[in-house]
């Protein structure tokens, strides 16, 4: 038996509970064009999951422009964040709190 993470009920009320605060976060993102990365829907789900499970550590593999780094940091300001990417040339948002490594996860 594998232990499952309790994500609560996936109903409309539960899924919408962070939408208003997320919309402000999304609108105020330093990344105005995230072409090649996540759009609004995937960004909201990422934000929702981090708010629900409240991890103490997040390892982000593939940073691109830094959009998901920004989302994770806004969802959980005290979460330790490790960011992995083989190329940071497109990086727009660099978190002061994250630790960056220019490497692949090896997976």
| Class of residue 56 by CB neighbours under 10 A (exposed 0-12, middle 13-18, buried 19+) | exposed
How far lies 41's CA from each of 7, 44, 56, in Å?
A: 18, 5, 24
Q: E-strand spans in 1-107?
A: 57-61, 80-84, 99-101
| pLDDT value of residue 4 | 53
pLDDT at position 14, please? 83
Token pair 């208003």 is at which residue?
20
> What is the value of pTM for the model shown?
0.86
pLDDT tens figures, 59-73: 999 999 999 999 999
Residues 6-59 pLDDT 10s: 555 667 778 899 999 999 999 999 999 999 999 999 999 999 999 999 999 999
| Alpha-carbon span 82 to 59, nearest angstrom | 5
């Amino acid at each position: 038996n594998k232990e499952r993470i309790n994500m609560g009920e996936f109903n409309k009320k539960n899924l919408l509970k962070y939408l208003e605060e997320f919309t402000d976060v999304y609108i105020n993102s330093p990344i105005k064009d995230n072409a090649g990365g996540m759009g609004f829907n995937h960004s909201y789900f990422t934000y929702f999951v981090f708010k629900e499970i409240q991890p103490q550590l997040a390892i982000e593999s593939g940073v691109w422009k830094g959009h998901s780094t920004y989302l994770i940091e806004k969802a959980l300001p005290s979460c330790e964040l490790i960011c992995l990417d083989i190329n940071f040339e497109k990086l727009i948002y660099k978190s002061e709190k994250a630790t960056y490594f220019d490497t692949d996860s090896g997976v």
